[in-house]
Structure 1
Amino acid sequence: MKFKIFDGIIDMLNQNDNEIKESKEKIKKLQDELKAYQTQTQNLNDSKEKIKKLQDELKAYQTQTQNLNDSKEKIKKLQDELKAYQTQIQNLNHSKEILIKISEIKKSNNFESAYKFLDELSAEGNQEMMLIACNEGLWKMTTKDNNNVLHVASEKGNLRLIKFLIECNCDKDTKDKDDTTPLIYASFYGYLEVVKYLISVGANKEAKDTWRQTPLILASVQGHLDVVKYLISVRANKEATNYYGWTPLIFASVKGHLEVVKYLISVGANKEAKDNDGKTALMLASAKGYLENVKYLR
Protein backbone atom coordinates (compact mmCIF):
# COMPACT_ATOMS: atom_id res chain seq x y z
CA MET A 1 0.00 0.00 0.00
CA LYS A 2 2.79 2.40 0.94
CA PHE A 3 4.55 1.68 -2.32
CA LYS A 4 1.46 2.45 -4.33
CA ILE A 5 1.11 5.80 -2.63
CA PHE A 6 4.75 6.51 -3.28
CA ASP A 7 4.34 5.52 -6.91
CA GLY A 8 1.40 7.90 -7.21
CA ILE A 9 3.45 10.72 -5.78
CA ILE A 10 6.24 9.98 -8.21
CA ASP A 11 3.78 9.99 -11.11
CA MET A 12 2.36 13.29 -9.90
CA LEU A 13 5.85 14.78 -9.65
CA ASN A 14 6.71 13.53 -13.10
CA GLN A 15 3.51 15.05 -14.44
CA ASN A 16 4.33 18.35 -12.77
CA ASP A 17 7.80 18.24 -14.28
CA ASN A 18 6.31 17.70 -17.68
CA GLU A 19 3.86 20.54 -17.21
CA ILE A 20 6.66 22.80 -15.99
CA LYS A 21 8.76 21.80 -18.97
CA GLU A 22 5.88 22.48 -21.36
CA SER A 23 5.23 25.82 -19.68
CA LYS A 24 8.88 26.76 -20.01
CA GLU A 25 8.81 25.80 -23.65
CA LYS A 26 5.67 27.88 -24.21
CA ILE A 27 7.25 30.79 -22.36
CA LYS A 28 10.42 30.37 -24.45
CA LYS A 29 8.35 30.26 -27.63
CA LEU A 30 6.38 33.33 -26.59
CA GLN A 31 9.60 35.12 -25.68
CA ASP A 32 11.06 34.23 -29.10
CA GLU A 33 7.90 35.42 -30.83
CA LEU A 34 7.95 38.61 -28.77
CA LYS A 35 11.58 39.16 -29.63
CA ALA A 36 10.87 38.53 -33.31
CA TYR A 37 7.96 40.96 -33.20
CA GLN A 38 10.09 43.54 -31.42
CA THR A 39 12.75 43.08 -34.09
CA GLN A 40 10.14 43.38 -36.82
CA THR A 41 8.74 46.49 -35.14
CA GLN A 42 12.24 47.95 -34.91
CA ASN A 43 12.86 47.19 -38.58
CA LEU A 44 9.56 48.83 -39.47
CA ASN A 45 10.49 51.92 -37.47
CA ASP A 46 13.87 51.94 -39.17
CA SER A 47 12.12 51.70 -42.55
CA LYS A 48 9.83 54.58 -41.65
CA GLU A 49 12.82 56.67 -40.67
CA LYS A 50 14.58 55.76 -43.91
CA ILE A 51 11.45 56.63 -45.90
CA LYS A 52 11.18 59.93 -44.04
CA LYS A 53 14.84 60.63 -44.71
CA LEU A 54 14.44 59.80 -48.40
CA GLN A 55 11.34 61.99 -48.61
CA ASP A 56 13.24 64.87 -47.03
CA GLU A 57 16.15 64.33 -49.42
CA LEU A 58 13.75 64.20 -52.37
CA LYS A 59 12.04 67.41 -51.27
CA ALA A 60 15.41 69.10 -50.85
CA TYR A 61 16.46 67.93 -54.31
CA GLN A 62 13.20 69.16 -55.82
CA THR A 63 13.69 72.54 -54.14
CA GLN A 64 17.27 72.62 -55.40
CA THR A 65 16.11 71.71 -58.90
CA GLN A 66 13.41 74.40 -58.83
CA ASN A 67 15.95 76.96 -57.67
CA LEU A 68 18.26 75.83 -60.46
CA ASN A 69 15.45 76.17 -63.03
CA ASP A 70 14.61 79.61 -61.65
CA SER A 71 18.25 80.56 -61.97
CA LYS A 72 18.36 79.25 -65.54
CA GLU A 73 15.27 81.30 -66.42
CA LYS A 74 16.81 84.39 -64.86
CA ILE A 75 20.05 83.78 -66.74
CA LYS A 76 18.09 83.26 -69.98
CA LYS A 77 16.18 86.48 -69.38
CA LEU A 78 19.38 88.39 -68.70
CA GLN A 79 20.99 86.89 -71.80
CA ASP A 80 17.99 87.96 -73.91
CA GLU A 81 18.12 91.45 -72.44
CA LEU A 82 21.85 91.62 -73.12
CA LYS A 83 21.36 90.41 -76.67
CA ALA A 84 18.59 92.97 -77.24
CA TYR A 85 20.82 95.70 -75.85
CA GLN A 86 23.72 94.61 -78.06
CA THR A 87 21.39 94.57 -81.08
CA GLN A 88 20.18 98.05 -80.16
CA ILE A 89 23.78 99.27 -79.93
CA GLN A 90 24.58 97.66 -83.28
CA ASN A 91 21.51 99.27 -84.86
CA LEU A 92 22.48 102.65 -83.46
CA ASN A 93 26.01 102.25 -84.79
CA HIS A 94 24.64 101.10 -88.14
CA SER A 95 22.26 104.07 -88.27
CA LYS A 96 25.16 106.38 -87.46
CA GLU A 97 27.17 104.85 -90.29
CA ILE A 98 24.21 105.27 -92.66
CA LEU A 99 23.77 108.93 -91.72
CA ILE A 100 27.46 109.53 -92.36
CA LYS A 101 27.13 107.72 -95.68
CA ILE A 102 24.13 109.85 -96.66
CA SER A 103 26.12 112.98 -95.97
CA GLU A 104 29.11 111.71 -97.97
CA ILE A 105 27.01 110.71 -101.00
CA LYS A 106 25.12 113.99 -100.91
CA LYS A 107 28.41 115.89 -101.03
CA SER A 108 29.84 113.67 -103.78
CA ASN A 109 26.74 114.01 -105.99
CA ASN A 110 27.64 110.58 -107.43
CA PHE A 111 24.61 108.88 -109.00
CA GLU A 112 26.01 105.33 -108.98
CA SER A 113 26.81 105.60 -105.27
CA ALA A 114 23.35 106.98 -104.54
CA TYR A 115 21.56 104.25 -106.51
CA LYS A 116 23.59 101.44 -104.94
CA PHE A 117 23.14 102.88 -101.46
CA LEU A 118 19.36 103.27 -101.78
CA ASP A 119 19.08 99.81 -103.30
CA GLU A 120 20.95 98.36 -100.30
CA LEU A 121 18.64 100.18 -97.88
CA SER A 122 15.61 98.73 -99.67
CA ALA A 123 17.16 95.26 -99.48
CA GLU A 124 17.62 95.72 -95.72
CA GLY A 125 14.04 96.93 -95.41
CA ASN A 126 15.35 100.02 -93.63
CA GLN A 127 12.40 102.34 -94.24
CA GLU A 128 13.50 104.84 -91.60
CA MET A 129 16.92 105.48 -93.14
CA MET A 130 15.45 105.33 -96.65
CA LEU A 131 13.09 108.15 -95.73
CA ILE A 132 15.96 110.23 -94.37
CA ALA A 133 18.03 109.56 -97.49
CA CYS A 134 15.14 110.55 -99.76
CA ASN A 135 14.42 113.67 -97.74
CA GLU A 136 18.09 114.56 -98.18
CA GLY A 137 17.53 114.36 -101.93
CA LEU A 138 19.61 111.28 -102.78
CA TRP A 139 16.87 109.90 -105.02
CA LYS A 140 16.99 113.06 -107.13
CA MET A 141 20.63 112.54 -108.11
CA THR A 142 20.83 111.97 -111.85
CA THR A 143 22.85 110.25 -114.51
CA LYS A 144 24.42 112.23 -117.34
CA ASP A 145 21.12 111.69 -119.19
CA ASN A 146 19.25 113.39 -116.33
CA ASN A 147 17.63 110.15 -115.12
CA ASN A 148 17.12 110.03 -111.36
CA VAL A 149 17.10 106.94 -109.13
CA LEU A 150 13.38 106.25 -109.66
CA HIS A 151 13.80 106.48 -113.43
CA VAL A 152 16.71 104.02 -113.44
CA ALA A 153 14.95 101.66 -111.02
CA SER A 154 11.97 101.61 -113.41
CA GLU A 155 14.28 101.12 -116.38
CA LYS A 156 15.83 98.12 -114.59
CA GLY A 157 12.56 96.72 -113.27
CA ASN A 158 13.72 97.05 -109.65
CA LEU A 159 10.27 96.79 -108.08
CA ARG A 160 11.55 96.54 -104.50
CA LEU A 161 13.47 99.80 -104.74
CA ILE A 162 10.60 101.49 -106.60
CA LYS A 163 8.17 100.59 -103.81
CA PHE A 164 10.49 101.95 -101.13
CA LEU A 165 11.02 105.19 -103.04
CA ILE A 166 7.29 105.71 -103.61
CA GLU A 167 6.55 104.93 -99.95
CA CYS A 168 9.08 107.62 -99.05
CA ASN A 169 7.01 110.14 -101.03
CA CYS A 170 9.22 110.30 -104.11
CA ASP A 171 7.35 111.71 -107.10
CA LYS A 172 5.80 108.77 -108.98
CA ASP A 173 5.45 110.92 -112.12
CA THR A 174 8.92 112.46 -112.00
CA LYS A 175 10.18 113.40 -115.48
CA ASP A 176 13.63 113.23 -117.04
CA LYS A 177 14.96 115.69 -119.63
CA ASP A 178 12.71 114.04 -122.24
CA ASP A 179 9.64 114.14 -119.97
CA THR A 180 9.82 110.35 -119.59
CA THR A 181 8.13 109.10 -116.40
CA PRO A 182 8.82 105.89 -114.43
CA LEU A 183 5.65 104.34 -115.88
CA ILE A 184 6.76 105.13 -119.42
CA TYR A 185 10.13 103.46 -118.72
CA ALA A 186 8.52 100.37 -117.19
CA SER A 187 6.08 100.06 -120.09
CA PHE A 188 8.82 100.47 -122.70
CA TYR A 189 10.98 97.76 -121.08
CA GLY A 190 8.05 95.43 -120.45
CA TYR A 191 8.11 95.21 -116.64
CA LEU A 192 4.49 94.25 -116.07
CA GLU A 193 4.65 94.06 -112.26
CA VAL A 194 6.27 97.49 -112.09
CA VAL A 195 3.59 98.86 -114.43
CA LYS A 196 0.85 97.37 -112.23
CA TYR A 197 2.37 98.81 -109.08
CA LEU A 198 2.83 102.29 -110.50
CA ILE A 199 -0.76 102.31 -111.78
CA SER A 200 -1.95 101.12 -108.35
CA VAL A 201 -0.34 104.11 -106.63
CA GLY A 202 -1.85 106.56 -109.09
CA ALA A 203 0.82 107.07 -111.74
CA ASN A 204 -0.48 108.90 -114.80
CA LYS A 205 -1.25 106.24 -117.43
CA GLU A 206 -1.60 108.95 -120.10
CA ALA A 207 1.72 110.67 -119.36
CA LYS A 208 3.55 111.76 -122.52
CA ASP A 209 7.23 112.23 -123.21
CA THR A 210 8.72 114.90 -125.47
CA TRP A 211 7.50 112.99 -128.53
CA ARG A 212 4.01 112.67 -126.98
CA GLN A 213 4.45 108.93 -126.53
CA THR A 214 2.30 107.35 -123.81
CA PRO A 215 3.02 104.15 -121.85
CA LEU A 216 0.62 102.23 -124.15
CA ILE A 217 2.29 103.57 -127.29
CA LEU A 218 5.75 102.51 -126.08
CA ALA A 219 4.56 99.08 -124.90
CA SER A 220 3.13 98.62 -128.41
CA VAL A 221 6.39 99.81 -129.98
CA GLN A 222 8.26 97.09 -128.12
CA GLY A 223 5.62 94.40 -128.61
CA HIS A 224 4.99 93.80 -124.89
CA LEU A 225 1.58 92.19 -125.28
CA ASP A 226 1.04 91.55 -121.56
CA VAL A 227 1.72 95.21 -120.74
CA VAL A 228 -0.50 96.36 -123.61
CA LYS A 229 -3.34 94.17 -122.34
CA TYR A 230 -2.97 95.47 -118.81
CA LEU A 231 -2.91 99.13 -119.85
CA ILE A 232 -6.02 98.59 -121.96
CA SER A 233 -7.67 96.91 -118.95
CA VAL A 234 -7.15 100.08 -116.90
CA ARG A 235 -8.65 102.16 -119.72
CA ALA A 236 -5.51 103.61 -121.25
CA ASN A 237 -6.32 105.51 -124.43
CA LYS A 238 -5.90 103.03 -127.30
CA GLU A 239 -6.16 105.89 -129.83
CA ALA A 240 -3.45 108.07 -128.27
CA THR A 241 -1.11 109.60 -130.86
CA ASN A 242 2.51 110.65 -130.75
CA TYR A 243 4.05 113.75 -132.30
CA TYR A 244 3.66 112.23 -135.78
CA GLY A 245 0.10 111.06 -135.25
CA TRP A 246 1.02 107.40 -134.80
CA THR A 247 -1.33 105.32 -132.64
CA PRO A 248 -0.45 102.17 -130.69
CA LEU A 249 -1.88 100.12 -133.58
CA ILE A 250 0.24 101.94 -136.17
CA PHE A 251 3.37 101.40 -134.09
CA ALA A 252 2.63 97.68 -133.58
CA SER A 253 1.99 97.35 -137.31
CA VAL A 254 5.22 99.03 -138.47
CA LYS A 255 7.27 97.16 -135.86
CA GLY A 256 5.97 93.77 -136.93
CA HIS A 257 4.22 92.85 -133.67
CA LEU A 258 1.35 90.82 -135.12
CA GLU A 259 -0.08 89.60 -131.80
CA VAL A 260 -0.27 93.15 -130.49
CA VAL A 261 -1.94 94.20 -133.75
CA LYS A 262 -4.52 91.42 -133.38
CA TYR A 263 -5.23 92.30 -129.77
CA LEU A 264 -5.61 96.04 -130.37
CA ILE A 265 -8.05 95.42 -133.20
CA SER A 266 -9.96 92.94 -131.00
CA VAL A 267 -10.55 95.67 -128.42
CA GLY A 268 -11.73 98.15 -131.02
CA ALA A 269 -8.63 100.05 -132.09
CA ASN A 270 -9.30 102.07 -135.24
CA LYS A 271 -7.35 100.43 -138.05
CA GLU A 272 -8.35 103.28 -140.37
CA ALA A 273 -6.72 105.93 -138.18
CA LYS A 274 -4.29 108.11 -140.14
CA ASP A 275 -1.06 109.74 -139.07
CA ASN A 276 -0.08 113.34 -139.79
CA ASP A 277 0.81 112.34 -143.34
CA GLY A 278 -2.55 110.66 -143.93
CA LYS A 279 -1.15 107.13 -143.77
CA THR A 280 -2.92 104.19 -142.09
CA ALA A 281 -1.47 101.21 -140.27
CA LEU A 282 -1.98 99.10 -143.41
CA MET A 283 -0.06 101.55 -145.59
CA LEU A 284 2.84 101.81 -143.17
CA ALA A 285 3.01 98.04 -142.57
CA SER A 286 3.08 97.51 -146.35
CA ALA A 287 5.91 100.02 -146.69
CA LYS A 288 7.87 98.15 -144.02
CA GLY A 289 7.22 94.78 -145.65
CA TYR A 290 5.41 93.10 -142.75
CA LEU A 291 3.21 90.84 -144.89
CA GLU A 292 1.49 89.04 -142.00
CA ASN A 293 0.42 92.37 -140.56
CA VAL A 294 -0.71 93.53 -143.98
CA LYS A 295 -2.86 90.41 -144.44
CA TYR A 296 -4.48 90.89 -141.05
CA LEU A 297 -5.09 94.62 -141.50
CA ARG A 298 -6.84 94.25 -144.87
Structure 2
Amino acid sequence: MSSADELASAAAAGDAERVAQLLQDGAAVDAVNRFGRTPLQVMMMGSTAVARLLLDHGANPEVQDSTGSSPLHDAAREGFLETVQLLCSFQANPHVRDMWNRRPIDLATEKGHREVMAFLQSL
Protein backbone atom coordinates (compact mmCIF):
# COMPACT_ATOMS: atom_id res chain seq x y z
CA MET A 1 0.00 0.00 0.00
CA SER A 2 1.38 3.43 -0.89
CA SER A 3 2.02 6.01 1.83
CA ALA A 4 -0.77 8.14 0.30
CA ASP A 5 -3.22 5.24 0.66
CA GLU A 6 -1.98 4.49 4.18
CA LEU A 7 -2.42 8.10 5.28
CA ALA A 8 -5.87 8.35 3.69
CA SER A 9 -6.92 5.08 5.33
CA ALA A 10 -5.71 6.19 8.75
CA ALA A 11 -7.49 9.56 8.33
CA ALA A 12 -10.71 7.84 7.24
CA ALA A 13 -10.56 5.58 10.30
CA GLY A 14 -10.02 8.56 12.60
CA ASP A 15 -6.71 7.05 13.77
CA ALA A 16 -4.90 10.20 14.91
CA GLU A 17 -1.94 8.25 16.29
CA ARG A 18 -1.32 6.52 12.94
CA VAL A 19 -1.84 9.78 11.02
CA ALA A 20 0.73 11.50 13.25
CA GLN A 21 3.23 8.66 12.74
CA LEU A 22 2.81 8.64 8.96
CA LEU A 23 3.22 12.41 8.78
CA GLN A 24 6.29 12.21 11.01
CA ASP A 25 7.69 9.54 8.68
CA GLY A 26 7.33 11.93 5.75
CA ALA A 27 3.99 11.04 4.17
CA ALA A 28 2.82 13.91 1.94
CA VAL A 29 -0.18 15.52 3.63
CA ASP A 30 -1.98 16.34 0.36
CA ALA A 31 -1.03 13.24 -1.62
CA VAL A 32 -4.02 11.64 -3.31
CA ASN A 33 -4.96 8.05 -2.66
CA ARG A 34 -5.80 5.51 -5.35
CA PHE A 35 -9.27 7.07 -5.56
CA GLY A 36 -7.88 10.55 -6.22
CA ARG A 37 -8.74 11.99 -2.80
CA THR A 38 -6.58 13.61 -0.15
CA PRO A 39 -6.57 12.55 3.51
CA LEU A 40 -8.50 15.71 4.46
CA GLN A 41 -11.21 14.77 1.97
CA VAL A 42 -11.65 11.26 3.36
CA MET A 43 -10.97 11.90 7.05
CA MET A 44 -13.49 10.85 9.64
CA MET A 45 -15.37 14.16 9.81
CA GLY A 46 -16.04 13.99 13.52
CA SER A 47 -12.34 13.53 14.28
CA THR A 48 -11.06 17.02 14.98
CA ALA A 49 -7.78 15.47 16.17
CA VAL A 50 -7.14 14.06 12.69
CA ALA A 51 -8.28 17.28 11.02
CA ARG A 52 -5.95 19.35 13.21
CA LEU A 53 -2.98 17.07 12.51
CA LEU A 54 -3.54 17.29 8.76
CA LEU A 55 -4.12 21.05 8.80
CA ASP A 56 -1.16 21.68 11.11
CA HIS A 57 0.97 19.81 8.56
CA GLY A 58 -0.22 22.05 5.74
CA ALA A 59 -3.20 20.20 4.27
CA ASN A 60 -5.14 22.36 1.83
CA PRO A 61 -8.51 23.12 3.52
CA GLU A 62 -10.00 24.21 0.20
CA VAL A 63 -9.38 21.05 -1.82
CA GLN A 64 -12.48 20.12 -3.84
CA ASP A 65 -13.56 16.85 -5.41
CA SER A 66 -14.96 16.39 -8.90
CA THR A 67 -18.34 17.74 -7.76
CA GLY A 68 -16.81 20.85 -6.21
CA SER A 69 -17.48 19.57 -2.70
CA SER A 70 -14.87 20.63 -0.14
CA PRO A 71 -14.15 19.21 3.33
CA LEU A 72 -16.12 22.19 4.67
CA HIS A 73 -19.13 21.12 2.60
CA ASP A 74 -18.82 17.60 4.02
CA ALA A 75 -18.45 18.72 7.64
CA ALA A 76 -21.37 21.16 7.34
CA ARG A 77 -23.59 18.52 5.70
CA GLU A 78 -22.87 16.08 8.54
CA GLY A 79 -23.25 18.69 11.29
CA PHE A 80 -19.72 18.52 12.73
CA LEU A 81 -19.48 22.01 14.23
CA GLU A 82 -15.96 21.61 15.67
CA THR A 83 -14.63 20.41 12.32
CA VAL A 84 -16.38 23.29 10.53
CA GLN A 85 -14.85 25.76 12.99
CA LEU A 86 -11.40 24.21 12.63
CA LEU A 87 -11.51 24.24 8.83
CA CYS A 88 -12.58 27.88 8.86
CA SER A 89 -9.79 28.76 11.28
CA PHE A 90 -7.40 27.37 8.66
CA GLN A 91 -8.93 29.66 6.02
CA ALA A 92 -11.41 27.27 4.36
CA ASN A 93 -13.73 29.47 2.31
CA PRO A 94 -17.25 29.34 3.80
CA HIS A 95 -18.69 30.77 0.57
CA VAL A 96 -17.28 28.15 -1.82
CA ARG A 97 -19.92 26.56 -4.05
CA ASP A 98 -20.16 23.03 -5.36
CA MET A 99 -21.32 22.12 -8.85
CA TRP A 100 -24.94 22.48 -7.72
CA ASN A 101 -24.20 26.03 -6.53
CA ARG A 102 -24.51 25.04 -2.86
CA ARG A 103 -22.42 26.59 -0.11
CA PRO A 104 -21.59 24.74 3.12
CA ILE A 105 -24.29 26.75 4.92
CA ASP A 106 -26.85 25.57 2.36
CA LEU A 107 -26.05 21.95 3.20
CA ALA A 108 -26.19 22.59 6.95
CA THR A 109 -29.56 24.29 6.47
CA GLU A 110 -30.88 21.43 4.35
CA LYS A 111 -29.93 18.94 7.09
CA GLY A 112 -31.14 21.12 9.98
CA HIS A 113 -27.77 21.58 11.67
CA ARG A 114 -28.63 24.80 13.45
CA GLU A 115 -25.34 25.29 15.34
CA VAL A 116 -23.36 24.90 12.11
CA MET A 117 -25.75 27.28 10.35
CA ALA A 118 -25.36 29.89 13.09
CA PHE A 119 -21.58 29.64 13.03
CA LEU A 120 -21.36 29.94 9.24
CA GLN A 121 -23.79 32.88 9.27
CA SER A 122 -21.54 34.65 11.77
CA LEU A 123 -18.59 34.67 9.37
Scaled by the length of structure 1, what TM-score is found?
0.39
What is the distance in 1 between the residues matched to 2:6 and 2:89?
28
1:180 to 30, 34, 37: 37
Q: How far is the alpha carbon of 1:177 from its aligned partner?
A: 5.0
For 1:260, the equivalent position in structure 2 comes to 116
1:37-92 CA deviation, whole Å, 9 max, x = no partner?
xxxxxxxxxxxxxxxxxxxxxxxxxxxxxxxxxxxxxxxxxxxxxxxxxxxxxxxx
The percent identity for this pair of structures is 28
Pick the aligned partner of 2:103 from 244, 247, 259.
247
1:224 aligns with 2:94: no
Equivalent residue runs for 1:61-100 within 5 Å: none
Q: Mind listing any 5+ residue stretches in structure 1 that lack a counterpart? A: 1-137, 142-146, 268-298
Residue 171 of structure 1 is matched in structure 2 by 28
Aligned to 1:150: 7
User: Which letter maps to 1:250?
Assistant: D
**Is the 8 Å Cα contact of residues 5 and 34 (structure 2) preserved in structure 1?**
no
Distance 1:173 1:247, change over 3 A: same
Distance 1:266 1:257 in 2: 14
Q: Residue 27 of structure 1 corresponds to which residue in structure 2?
A: none
8 Å CA contact 1:183, 1:198 repeated in 2? yes
Per the alignment, in what secondary structure is the counterpart of residue 148 of structure 1? helix
Higher helix proportion: 1
Larger Rg: 1
Q: Distance in 1 between matches of 2:86 and 2:121?
A: 15
- Alignment partners' CA distance in 2, 1:249 and 1:243: 15
Q: Higher RCO, 1 or 2 (CA under 8 Å, sep at least 6)?
A: 2
Shift of 1:178: 4.7
Deviation at residue 165 of structure 1 after TM alignment: 1.0
Shift in Å at residue 176 of structure 1? 3.3
Out of 163, 184, 195, the position equivalent to 2:51 is 195
**Paired residue type of 1:160:** E
Please give the alpha-carbon distance, in whole angstroms, between the structure 1 residues aligned to 2:86 and 2:28: 23
What is the Cα deviation at residue 207 of structure 1? 0.9
Distance 1:215 1:262 in 2: 18
The superposition leaves residues 132-182 of structure 1 with CA deviations (integer Å, 9 ceiling, x where unpaired) of xxxxxx4x17xxxxx822111001111111111112221211223553211
| TM-score normalised by structure 2 residue count | 0.90
Query: Aligned residue for 2:67?
Result: 211
Task: In structure 1, give the amino acid aligned to 2:85.
Answer: K
Supply the distance in 1 between the matched residues of 2:47 and 2:67 (Cα, whole angstroms): 21
Q: Which runs of 4+ in 1 moved over 2 A?
A: 176-180
CA contact (8 A) 2:19 2:53 kept: no
One-letter amino acid of the counterpart of residue 20, structure 2? K
Structure 2 gap ranges (5+): none
- Equivalent position amino acid for 1:203 in 2: A
- RMSD (Å), alpha carbons: 1.8
Q: Compute the displacement of 1:242 (Å).
A: 1.2
Question: How many residues end up aligned between the 2 structures?
Answer: 123
Provide the secondary structure at the position in 2 that maps to 1:152: helix
* Corresponding letter in the other structure for 1:196: R
> CA distance change for structure 1 residues 256 and 220 in 2, over 3 Å: closer, same or farther?
same
